[in-house]
Structure 1
């Protein structure tokens, strides 16, 4: 005869499954219109609708940045369940992490400029940064970290840095001059749905971004972390193992 505990567990599991199905359905419904909006806004910025004023261009660029945040939110909602259940398919290939960092610099340059932030990328002239990974997924990790830094930093700087802390290891870190995070909250940061109290409610977010970053980095046998002090900014980082050019 089932116990109350087992009945409660079964009920909780069913509720969780219903939540996941609902989130997946909503995310799928949002994806198509968000993609269409992005396309139309990009076309206007590229001049397909004729000349527009600099002021209008700024408004459209801001709208495009918000749209990009929502696209990342939708992707996070769709991916989290797949990753947890081991159902996410990875397309592995070799890529230089420096190239991924450069893409992030280009993608977030306009948003950082609009906030008046000093936005930079630091890569040594000699770097061992070839990794074997799913390019789209590691792009997602870097985009989440850079997006958070730009989003929560009101003035000062955001810097992306790529380095080799030791032989055979590549490290990417995103350093900012934002509000910083308390030691207590740092221990909770990478948990599912957790949001820092000082920033909750101020910006669009789900509390899934860093959780997904952790899941993905660990899927690739890497590690991820944060170093921060209140009012002194934050540095989010991850490390991966590099591969030799002759390795497949």
Structure 2
């Protein structure tokens, strides 16, 4: 169940991101390890809903980012997928990389998003139709993801063909200045 502690942590994270002085804390991180940790934190909900979670991110993949903020991004994206995927569904996490960027994709067989929902999904306190999922939400998780990605010069976007089609949330972590291009 969604807790006051989780909501407080999300509000504090948003406040911290608003207060940062523009000097990002970069270190080499291993996304696969952090994604597995995020899955462990969601394990109770994953088991309750009989979800399959596949992490297909190479263990040796590294990228310069903040460990704390990357953990927050991965926990929010995976938590969102768990929340909006029906019982027995599938969540898959993949990575694509080239010399300019690393893109990590969180795809699910969940409830999907309408065109209108896709426009607002990264807004503070936005929640998709509550009647279509079974867990409470603060509406802050994806807003945090957006702010973190903006702060570090990355990008986040979502693809979905509408209700009942699942979603693909993608984050782009730049390796070079020209790393994260607009999706076509």
Question: Please, what TM-score do these two structures have when normalized by structure 1?
Answer: 0.62
For the residues of structure 1 that align with 2:46 and 2:118, how far apart are their CA atoms?
25
Structure with the bigger percentage of helix: 1
Give the structure 2 partner of residue 161 of structure 1: 94
Give the structure 1 partner of residue 102 of structure 2: 170
For the residues of structure 2 that align with 1:94 and 1:107, how far apart are their CA atoms?
22
Report the alpha carbon displacement of residue 202 of structure 1 after superposing the two structures with TM.
4.6
Which 4+ residue blocks in structure 1 deviate beyond 6 angstroms?
A: none
Give the structure 1 partner of residue 179 of structure 2: none
Which of structures 1 and 2 has the larger relative contact order (alpha carbons within 8 angstroms, sep 6+)? 2
Report the alpha carbon displacement of residue 197 of structure 1 after superposing the two structures with TM.
2.4
Q: Deviations over 1:208-235 (max 9, x none)?
A: 1111110001111100010112111111
Structure 1 counterpart SS, 2:121: coil
For the residues of structure 1 that align with 2:53 and 2:84, how far apart are their CA atoms?
14
For the residues of structure 2 that align with 1:88 and 1:195, how far apart are their CA atoms?
29
Give the structure 2 partner of residue 235 of structure 1: 168
Structure 2 counterpart SS, 1:187: helix
Give the structure 2 partner of residue 21 of structure 1: none
Q: How many residues align?
A: 174
Contact 1:79 1:88 in 2 (8 A): no
For the residues of structure 2 that align with 1:198 and 1:215, how far apart are their CA atoms?
24
For the residues of structure 2 that align with 1:201 and 1:149, how far apart are their CA atoms?
11
Report the alpha carbon displacement of residue 113 of structure 1 after superposing the two structures with TM.
2.0
Alignment of 1:63-82 (within 5 A): 66=1, 70-82=4-16
Q: Deviations over 1:27-73 (max 9, x none)?
A: xxxxxxxxxxxxxxxxxxxxxxxxxxxxxxxxxxxxxxx36x54432
Which residue, out of 88, 91, 104, partners 2:38? Answer: 104
Contact 2:126 2:140 in 1 (8 A): yes
For the residues of structure 1 that align with 2:104 and 2:77, how far apart are their CA atoms?
10
Identify unmatched segments of 5+ residues in structure 1: 1-65, 244-248
Alignment of 1:80-119 (within 5 A): 80-86=14-20, 91-119=25-53
Give the structure 1 partner of residue 154 of structure 2: 222
For the residues of structure 1 that align with 2:104 and 2:123, how far apart are their CA atoms?
21
Give the structure 1 partner of residue 127 of structure 2: 195
RMSD across aligned positions (CA): 2.5
